[in-house]
C-alpha cells in the first residue's frame, strides 16, 4: 500500500506519521508538498498535525487554498481514505470535507497530555479492526481542539453514527474530567457521511510504539492498511 503525507509550511508531525508508516508498519509512503497537485498514485492520505501557515487568520484557514487540496478533494470524492490529525482535522473542516469547527480550548490553554478515547463506531477504514467501546490512550497537543457544531447538526451527526471517538475518563466513563478541551458531547473524532474522511484531535502517530508509553494509536493505522488490503482482495 502507498500512503501520502501532506506537508504544509508549519507542519510538525509529518515526519512522525512518515516514520510510523515506513518503519513501524512497513508501508510505502511519500511526502506530498502542499504546492503540488500530483498525489503520486497514493491509496490513502494523512493530513498531519502542526501549525500550517503559522495558524494565521484561523487554524487551517490558509491551508485549505493549497493546490494539493484540490487533489485531496478528488481523492476523497472517489472514496479514498483520508485521515486528518489535529491541525489536519482543522484543515479538513476549513476545506468543507468535515462538519463543525474547532474552537479554543475551554480553559484557553494549550494542552499536551495523554487522554482516553472510546471507540464509538467501527465501520470506517480507520476503525474497522477495532472493537466498539474499546478504550485507547493517545496524546493530544493543541490549543484549538474544542469541537463545536450547532444543535440540529449535532443531532444529525450523532444519529448518523459519525462520531467515531469520544473523550472518556481512565475507566471509560463519560465525565467532565475526561473531556480536556470542552468539546460538545466529548467528541474527539468524526467521519464524513461517506465514511472515508476522518478527523481526530488526538495523535495516533505519537502512540504507535511501546517506547512512547502507548501503542494504542497503532491500531488506527493498521486498520487503514487492512481495510485497503481487503478492498484489493
Looking at residues 23-42, what average pLDDT do you find? 97
Residue 224 dihedral angles phi and psi, to the nearest 5°: -60, -45
Split at pLDDT 50, 70, 90, the class of 232 is low
- DSSP symbols for 145-208: -EEE--HHHHHHHHHTT-EEEEEE-TTS---STT-SS--GGGEEEEE-TTS-EEEESS-GGGGS
CA atoms within 13 A on the CB side of 177: 5
Q: What is the pLDDT of residue 231?
A: 67
Question: Cβ contacts of residue 163 below 8 Å, gap of 6+?
Answer: 120, 121, 157, 185, 187, 189, 190
End-to-end CA distance of the chain: 13
Range of the domain at 85: 2-232
Does pLDDT of 209 surpass 70?
A: yes
Looking at residues 48-59, what average pLDDT do you find? 95
Look over the chain and give the mean of its residue pLDDT values, rounded to a whole number: 96
Secondary structure percentages of the chain, helix, strand, coil, to 5: 30, 25, 45
pTM for the full predicted model: 0.96
Count other Cβ atoms within 10 Å, centred on residue 26: 9
pLDDT tens readout for residues 75-128: 999 999 999 999 999 999 999 999 999 999 999 999 999 999 999 999 999 999
Looking at residues 32-39, what average pLDDT do you find? 97
Q: List the CATH number of the domain containing 226.
A: 3.40.50.880
* Rounded distance between C-alpha atoms, residue 232 and residue 145, angstroms: 35
Active site residue 203: yes
Catalytic residue among 13, 34, 86, 120: 86
Looking at the structure of the chain, the number of domains it has is: 1
Catalytic residue among 34, 75, 142, 203: 203
Does pLDDT of 230 surpass 90?
A: no
List b or e across 210-222, with b for residues whose CB sees 16 or more CB atoms inside 10 angstroms: eeeebbbbbbbbb
* Rounded distance between C-alpha atoms, residue 107 and residue 177, angstroms: 12
Active site residue 86: yes
Amino acid at each position: 500500500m502507498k500512503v501520502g503525507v501532506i506537508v504544509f509550511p508549519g507542519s510538525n508531525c509529518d515526519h512522525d506519521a512518515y516514520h510510523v508508516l515506513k518503519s513501524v508498519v512497513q508501508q510505502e509512503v511519500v511526502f506530498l508538498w502542499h504546492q503540488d497537485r500530483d498525489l503520486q498514485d497514493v491509496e490513502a492520505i494523512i493530513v498531519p498535525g502542526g501549525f500550517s501557515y503559522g495558524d494565521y487568520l484561523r487554524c487551517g484557514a490558509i491551508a485549505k487554498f493549497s493546490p494539493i487540496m484540490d487533489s485531496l478533494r478528488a481523492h476523497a470524492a472517489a472514496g479514498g481514505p483520508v485521515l486528518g490529525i489535529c491541525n489536519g482535522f482543522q484543515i479538513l473542516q476549513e476545506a468543507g470535507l468535515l462538519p463543525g469547527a474547532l474552537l479554543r480550548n475551554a480553559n484557553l490553554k494549550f494542552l499536551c497530555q495523554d487522554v482516553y478515547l472510546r471507540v464509538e463506531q467501527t465501520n470506517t477504514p480507520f476503525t474497522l479492526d477495532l472493537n466498539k467501546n474499546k478504550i485507547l490512550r493517545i496524546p493530544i497537543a493543541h490549543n484549538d481542539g474544542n469541537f463545536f457544531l450547532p444543535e440540529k447538526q449535532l443531532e444529525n451527526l450523532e444519529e448518523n453514527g459519525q462520531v467515531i471517538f469520544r473523550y472518556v475518563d481512565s475507566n471509560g466513563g463519560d465525565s467532565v474530567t475526561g473531556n480536556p478541551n470542552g468539546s460538545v458531547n466529548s467528541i474527539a473524532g468524526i467521519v464524513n457521511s461517506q465514511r472515508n474522511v476522518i478527523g481526530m484531535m488526538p495523535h495516533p502517530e505519537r502512540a504507535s510504539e511501546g517506547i512512547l508509553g502507548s501503542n494504542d494509536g497503532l491500531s488506527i493505522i493498521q486498520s487503514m492498511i487492512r481495510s485497503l488490503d481487503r478492498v484489493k482482495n
